[in-house]
């Protein structure tokens, strides 16, 4: 053998040995960690956690960047997607063991001019690295790693499992990851329902998610889709004639990008996220690590009813523009004088804004940063229109004023017996206003909505009944503690407790508080399990305490809930990505008997006076309901407006007001009845009209078995309906004087007197005390 031939073969075998040694070294992690067999069998692909409504509707997701993946099993993927993928990316997929030698050789000798040599399995291996190496040497090493991983994948997975894992891993246009998300985003359907042209469009994106984006580059996308259809015909998946017809079909998207600002109940999902984290903090994964809501593909099943949620959001959106228009007509809003002596609020808002932080990071002097807030610029602001925004030109400083002057709202709906939350609206627009007003920590003064709880205790513990006579007289609690602080609203009359509640009489309520006792009432609120500790000031009888809407829903559950105080809950169960249940919730553990069923029934019947002839008069008849109860509430100078109402099947609570309490509607026509009740009414009108929800207009409160048979149901609403309602009414909205509390500052009293003077100088309409 010639020397040159010997040298050739020596080099050949040394090269082969060196290549094998290189593969061995790579496999053992010398050139970077390689996944173990266990990791390949359970690939660590970031998965978004998904939130589902009670009926299985996808409400939203939690995920990190590049982690928005929703896993679809092979059987849940349309065969058209599988055929399109194999025809386009790897025709010999079922014939190779991870590496296509023919394709690789072609790619090497033709320098990739007729396509690359990577198989679907190799592309999956590359996807497991999350990013492609940049340098030539690093890329060669990575390519060898791909080969090794591809062979391992083929040995440990079926072809179907590899296909499914690949389609669940790869990115599509608009940074959408996985076939399920892509199908939902571009066509609003599950991947098993995709037709041929839709499947071809999605598979076509894989080669270039940016340039083949049908939303941005429809022409490019159309050409790529038709190429995929042609290859499906070449591969025998469809006939040439069918391919010709499909290519002529224009692209028809049904695009809906799901992000934190869209989907059902965005405010609710923010509260839910923190609750899930808390629930899972002591639960570990099999490897001992903690669950990550953004990465571990959890399934969170909630109690939300999608249609009720939609109706709740629509009800809020239908009435809030009315309140905002009323607010905008005020002189102090139009002139900007509302901000006099409150510039500190605006300055604090400036310094927490993104504009300020970004300029501060660029080391721009504070003086220049502040000056930029007074220069007009183009911007988008929130508006009550179809898109909830509009383009305008204003200074950032004026933009802060504009947005803080928006009237906010919160609305919750629950099942009063089980406590299941059916709808949750935390504000007027999540995209612009992230702060949630419905959660446990957001507290506002509750006004007259507290009165039914006081009346409940009087019935339960002091032997009162709806027909018990009470005195509408100012009460002295000693140490100069008069409730109300002014007697101007006291009629001096004697009336039934039912009448006092229907007309929301402050002085009569103070009389009942005198019989019950402030300390005892504060203790009673604690026995309802409300987390907020209420100080035993006599003025809490009129609602001079701060509670959250969540807590008010909790307290009001006793009425339709047959005497049980039931904490609202919204998670049914939490599953891992394999469907194993990590946490299940049983509502029975969430209930506590607070008062007798008889007391609850008496209150439910008595509170019908409010919705028949009281402060929410006519509500029951307008909705056509057989039985319901409710209570309005308005606080200092209309800073807060409430309506709490319930039927035998549903409990709903509304709060409206501005985040800054000094911004308030000065119209005396704006009260709990006018500002909050219309939202509740609009919601229930839609709910009653939707027969599929099973909410019955004719439902009645359950009559206790041991209720005195001699007493008819009508006797539980002994309101004097023949009397002139005006004798129970006062003029003007309640002021700070009505809600005097110990510690009430002299400055605040001056502000309230000034507000009272401003309000009474305008025409005044009669309204009930709230």
| Mean pLDDT to the nearest integer, 157-168 | 89
Reply yes or no: is the peptide bond before residue 82 cis, omega within 30 of 0.
no
| Mean pLDDT to the nearest integer, 208-216 | 92
- From 76-85, 193-202, 761-770, the region with the lowest mean pLDDT: 761-770
In terms of pLDDT, which residue wins out, 768 or 613?
A: 613
- From 67-76, 366-375, 591-600, the region with the lowest mean pLDDT: 67-76
Residue 28 pLDDT class (50, 70, 90 cuts)? low
- From 68-72, 325-329, 618-622, 652-656, the region with the lowest mean pLDDT: 68-72
In this predicted structure, the answer to whether residue 119 has a pLDDT above a threshold of 70 is yes
Which residues, other chains included, contact 706 with Cβ-Cβ below 8 Å and sequence gap of 6+?
A: 598
Which residues, other chains included, contact 358 with Cβ-Cβ below 8 Å and sequence gap of 6+?
A: none
Contact 154, 97 (CB under 8 A): yes
Helix pair angle (518-527, 451-462), 10° resolution: 100
| Mean pLDDT to the nearest integer, 303-331 | 95
| Mean pLDDT to the nearest integer, 319-327 | 93
pLDDT at 69: 72
In terms of pLDDT, which residue wins out, 202 or 635?
A: 202
In this predicted structure, the answer to whether residue 767 has a pLDDT above a threshold of 80 is no
What DSSP element (H or E) covers 177? strand 176-177
pLDDT at 759: 34
Q: How far is CA 495 from CA 54, 463, 609, in A?
A: 46, 17, 14
Q: Which among 503, 513, 500, 499 has a CA at the least distance from the CA of 542?
A: 513
pLDDT at 485: 86
Question: Which is it for strands 571-575 and 581-584: parallel, antiparallel or unpaired?
Answer: antiparallel
Residue 751 pLDDT class (50, 70, 90 cuts)? very low
In this predicted structure, the answer to whether residue 682 has a pLDDT above a threshold of 60 is yes
| Mean pLDDT to the nearest integer, 27-41 | 60
SS3 per-residue string spanning 646-699: ECCCCEEEEEEECCCCCCCCCCCCCCHHHHHHHHHHHHHHHHHHCHHHCCCCCC
Name the pTM for this structure. Answer: 0.77
Question: Cα(597)–Cα(559) distance, rounded to whole angstroms?
Answer: 9
What share of the chain has pLDDT > 70, as a percent?
Answer: 81
In this predicted structure, the answer to whether residue 425 has a pLDDT above a threshold of 50 is yes
Output b/e per residue, 476-503; b: 16+ Cβ within 10 A.
ebeeebbbbbeeebbbebebbbbbbbbb
Domain with CATH 3.40.710.10 in the chain: 408-745
Fold of 77-254: Penicillin binding protein transpeptidase fold (1.10.3810)
Question: Cα(666)–Cα(664) distance, rounded to whole angstroms?
Answer: 6
Q: Which among 190, 436, 421, 430 has a CA at the least distance from the CA of 306?
A: 421
pLDDT at 22: 64
DSSP 547: E
Fold of 408-745: Beta-lactamase (3.40.710)
In this predicted structure, the answer to whether residue 281 has a pLDDT above a threshold of 80 is yes
Question: Cα(110)–Cα(190) distance, rounded to whole angstroms?
Answer: 40
Count CA within 13 A, CB hemisphere, residue 81.
27
In terms of pLDDT, which residue wins out, 44 or 6?
A: 6
Q: Which among 566, 561, 477 has a CA at the least distance from the CA of 513?
A: 477
Domain with CATH 1.10.3810.10 in the chain: 77-254
Helix, strand or coil, per DSSP, at residue 395: coil
Contact 120, 86 (CB under 8 A): yes
pLDDT at 103: 58
pLDDT at 736: 38
* Average pLDDT score over the chain: 84
Residue 384 pLDDT class (50, 70, 90 cuts)? very high
- From 136-145, 409-418, 615-624, 711-720, the region with the lowest mean pLDDT: 711-720
Q: What is the pLDDT of residues 535-566, one digit of tens each?
A: 999 999 999 999 999 999 999 999 999 999 99
Contact 88, 208 (CB under 8 A): no
What share of the chain has pLDDT > 90, as a percent?
Answer: 61
In this predicted structure, the answer to whether residue 486 has a pLDDT above a threshold of 70 is yes
pLDDT at 333: 92
Residue with tokens 């339960």: 460
Distance between first and last Cα of the chain:
111
In this predicted structure, the answer to whether residue 686 has a pLDDT above a threshold of 80 is yes
Q: Which among 113, 343, 83, 312 has a CA at the least distance from the CA of 202?
A: 83
Output b/e per residue, 654-671; b: 16+ Cβ within 10 A.
bbbbbbeebbbbbbbebb
pLDDT at 65: 62
Residue with tokens 């808390």: 278
């Amino acid at each position: 053998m010639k020397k040159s031939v010997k040298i050739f073969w020596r080099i050949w075998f040394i090269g082969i040995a060196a290549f094998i040694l290189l593969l061995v070294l790579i496999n053992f992690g010398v050139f970077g960690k390689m996944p173990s067999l266990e990791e390949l069998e359970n690939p660590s692909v970031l998965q978004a956690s998904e939130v589902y409504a009670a009926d299985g509707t996808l409400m939203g997701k939690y995920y990190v960047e590049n982690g928005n993946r929703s896993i679809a099993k092979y059987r849940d993927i349309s065969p058209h997607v599988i055929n399109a993928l194999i025809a386009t990316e790897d025709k010999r997929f079922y014939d190779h063991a991870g590496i296509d030698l023919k394709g690789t050789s072609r790619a090497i000798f033709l320098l990739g001019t007729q396509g690359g040599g990577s198989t679907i399995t190799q592309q999956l291996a590359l996807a497991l690295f999350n990013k492609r190496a940049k340098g030539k040497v690093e890329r060669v090493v990575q390519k060898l790693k791909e080969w090794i991983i591809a062979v391992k994948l083929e040995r440990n997975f079926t072809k179907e499992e590899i296909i499914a894992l690949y389609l669940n891993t790869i990115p599509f246009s608009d940074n959408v990851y996985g076939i399920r998300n892509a199908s939902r985003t571009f066509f609003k359907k599950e991947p098993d329902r995709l037709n041929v042209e839709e499947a071809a469009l999605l598979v076509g994106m894989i080669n270039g998610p940016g340039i083949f984006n049908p939303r941005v580059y429809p022409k490019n996308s159309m050409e790529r889709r038709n190429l995929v259809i042609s290859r499906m015909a070449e591969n025998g998946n469809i006939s040439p004639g069918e391919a010709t017809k499909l290519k002529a079909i224009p692209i028809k998207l049904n695009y809906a990008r799901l992000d934190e600002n869209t989907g059902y109940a965005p405010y609710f999902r923010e509260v839910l996220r923190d609750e899930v984290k808390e629930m899972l903090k002591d639960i570990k994964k099999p490897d001992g690590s903690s669950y990550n809501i953004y990465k571990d593909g959890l399934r969170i099943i909630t109690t939300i009813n999608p249609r009720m949620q939609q109706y709740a959001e629509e009800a809020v959106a239908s009435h809030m523009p009315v309140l905002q228009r009323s607010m905008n007509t005020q002189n102090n809003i139009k002139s900007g004088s509302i901000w006099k002596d409150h510039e500190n609020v605006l300055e604090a808002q400036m310094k927490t804004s993104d504009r300020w932080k970004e300029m501060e990071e660029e080391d721009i002097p504070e003086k220049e940063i502040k000056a930029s807030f007074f220069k007009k610029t183009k911007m988008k602001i929130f508006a009550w229109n179809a898109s909830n925004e509009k383009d305008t030109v204003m200074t950032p400083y004026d933009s802060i004023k504009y947005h803080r002057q928006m009237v906010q709202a919160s609305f919750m709906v629950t099942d009063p017996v089980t406590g299941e939350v059916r709808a949750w609206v935390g504000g007027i627009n999540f995209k612009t206003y992230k702060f949630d007003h419905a959660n446990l920590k957001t507290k506002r003064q509750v006004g007259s909505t507290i009165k039914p709880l006081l009346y409940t205790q009087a019935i339960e513990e002091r032997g009162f009944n709806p027909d018990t006579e009470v005195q509408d007289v100012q009460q002295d609690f000693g140490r100069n503690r008069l409730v109300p602080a002014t007697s101007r609203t006291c009629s001096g009359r004697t009336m039934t407790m039912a009448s006092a509640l229907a007309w929301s009489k402050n002085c009569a309520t103070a009389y009942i508080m005198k019989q019950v006792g402030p300390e005892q009432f504060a203790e009673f609120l604690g026995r309802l399990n409300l987390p907020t500790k209420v100080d035993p000031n006599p003025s809490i009888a009129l609602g001079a305490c701060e509670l959250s809407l969540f807590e008010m829903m909790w307290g009001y559950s006793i009425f339709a809930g047959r005497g049980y105080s039931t904490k609202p809950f919204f998670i049914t169960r939490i599953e891992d990505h394999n469907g194993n249940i990590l946490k299940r919730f049983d509502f029975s553990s969430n209930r506590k008997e607070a008062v007798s069923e008889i007391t609850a029934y008496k209150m439910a019947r008595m509170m019908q006076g409010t919705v028949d002839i009281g402060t929410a008069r006519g509500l029951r008849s307008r909705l056509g309901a057989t039985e319901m109860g409710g209570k309005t509430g308005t606080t200092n100078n209309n800073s807060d407006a409430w309506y709490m109402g319930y039927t035998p099947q549903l409990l709903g609570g509304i709060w409206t007001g501005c985040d800054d309490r000094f911004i308030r509607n000065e119209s005396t026509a704006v009260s709990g009845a006018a500002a909050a009740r219309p939202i509740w009414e609009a919601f229930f009108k839609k709910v009653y009209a939707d027969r599929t929800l099973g909410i019955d207009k004719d439902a009645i409160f359950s009559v206790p078995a041991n209720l005195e048979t001699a007493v008819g149901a009508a006797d539980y609403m002994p309101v004097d309906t023949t009397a002139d309602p005006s004798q129970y009414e006062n003029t003007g909205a309640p002021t700070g004087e009505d809600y005097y509390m110990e510690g009430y500052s002299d400055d605040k009293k001056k502000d309230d007197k000034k507000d009272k003077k401003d309000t009474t100088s305008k025409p005044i309409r009669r309204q009930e005390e709230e």
